[in-house]
Chains A and B, each alone.
Chain A
Amino acid sequence: MLTVNRYKCGYCGACVGVCPAAALELVETWIEVNDDCTRCGRCAKICPLGALELDKEAKR
């Protein structure tokens, strides 16, 4: 699963712009993840603050 650390996130929307599955949405000051996420990891790679993490268990 993709987890968003809401305490770290700077609500910039960069992750939303790179997600190939359109699984992310920026609503005011938080990021929502929907079921379309394929766990590709692109969003986590580009997050300027490192607020996104792919849980290794789920990635298997």
Chain B
Amino acid sequence: MKCDLVVVGAGPAGSMTAKAAAEAGLDVVMMEKRQEIGDPVRCAEGVSKAALKKLVEPDPSWISAEVKGARIRAPDGTEIVISEDRAGAEVGYVLERKVFDRALAQEAAEAGAKVMVKTRALGLLTEKGVPAGVVAQFVGEELKIEAPLVIGADGVESKVGRWAGIETALKPKDVETCAQFLVQDERIDDDYCEFYLGNDIAPGGYVWSFPKGRALANVGIGILGSKADSGTPIRLLRDFMKANFPEGKVLEMMVGGVPVSGPIERTVADGVILVGDAARQSDPITGGGIINAMKAGKMAGKIAADLVPRGEVDKRSLMVYEEMWRETIGKHISRNFAVKEFFVDLTDDDLNRMIHSLDGIDVAELDLKGLLKVLVRQNPKHLLKLRHLIV
């Protein structure tokens, strides 16, 4: 089989890539190793409404709930509420990723991309030592797909980069190891996302509760890999449930890893581009990666459509993509990586002090940058190291 572009992985990054490239006229094959796109889910499903709307038309079929704001709880129990709009307008979505991921893949298909499920990339084809497509296993049978460009959108477990000589293995300090339950409990607040901080609760991470409507929520935990031991996330999540939702009923469970490494050295090689979690583009503080994955996919797809017809797929030509994402989403990722490196070593006393400093302050901006600004203003001495990062 031959085509212009092979996209490996049909998550948000892959589908946005395939859609953008196909829309611009490329002959695209997108392969996904799972037999069902989007399932099992590895996500808490929270996104900013405004950011998502710029990328795709919201559809009720994949929105579980809309939230008005967030609540953050300090280790000593103090809570602050962050709500962008005092009138209580919804600022965030909690998605149904099983439906969302497939809907994005469907958009790629409608734009003309060929989608292949239960098709796992096994390695790169090469021609005179240069990547020239993918060897895959399609429902158990070997399949070769020749293409001048391969885009790796293969998520946290990405191999495409490694095959092309890009080192993407995550160190324990650069990954959040996570577990999550879908919980039914009358105590769940359907309007707010909640975050719980503390070194006993979630070392180097946090516990979240993202409502999905009708007293359901994704209640999960992320722990910094370097502070974890085999099975720590599931153990601490069970402890949290006992303390906070003793009556909670668990309807689903899932586990996963989120890259929090900040920008890696390089995301292009001859004939290869990486996007989304494969390129470690998730936010190092929040662990959110859907929006960045979609943005990077859109950039990569457009650039592919521009360069492939011209035969310019060597590493140097592909630097256009590298520069574009670093200039845009990369800036936030770098800054948040520096902030994360600082935050993960704070003691519970530090965390309490910070939350207390926000008491009575009108945190008008829901976004992280706004919050950090207020924190630095309120804690000039303690957060001196962060000042230069947040201007």
Contact = CB atoms under 8 A, between A and B. Distances in A.
Interface of A: 10-20, 22, 25-28, 42, 44-50, 52-53
B172 A45 contact: yes
Nearest to A54: B230
A28 B229 contact: no
11 contacts: A14-B178, A14-B256, A17-B157, A17-B175, A18-B169, A20-B169, A25-B159, A45-B225, A48-B256, A49-B179, A52-B230
B172 A18 contact: yes
B288 interface: no
Given A14-B175, A14-B177, A22-B159, A46 B169 contact: no
A48 B233 contact: yes
Interface of B: 33-35, 40, 42, 120, 155-159, 162, 168-172, 175, 177-179, 225, 228-234, 253-257, 259
Given A10-B253, A27-B33, A48 B169 contact: no
Interface centre among A26, A52, A53 (most CB of B within 10 A): A26
Given A28-B33, A48-B256, A17 B234 contact: no
A18 B230 contact: no
A26 B225 CA distance: 19
A47 B169 CA distance: 15
A60 to B, nearest CB: 19
Contacts of B175: 14, 17-18, 46
Which of B155, B253, B255: most chain A Cβ within 10 A?
B255
B42 A17 contact: no
Given A13-B155, A20-B169, A26-B157, A45 B33 contact: no
B155 A48 contact: no
A22 B219 CA distance: 31
A47 B231 contact: yes
A34 B155 CA distance: 20
A52 B162 CA distance: 23
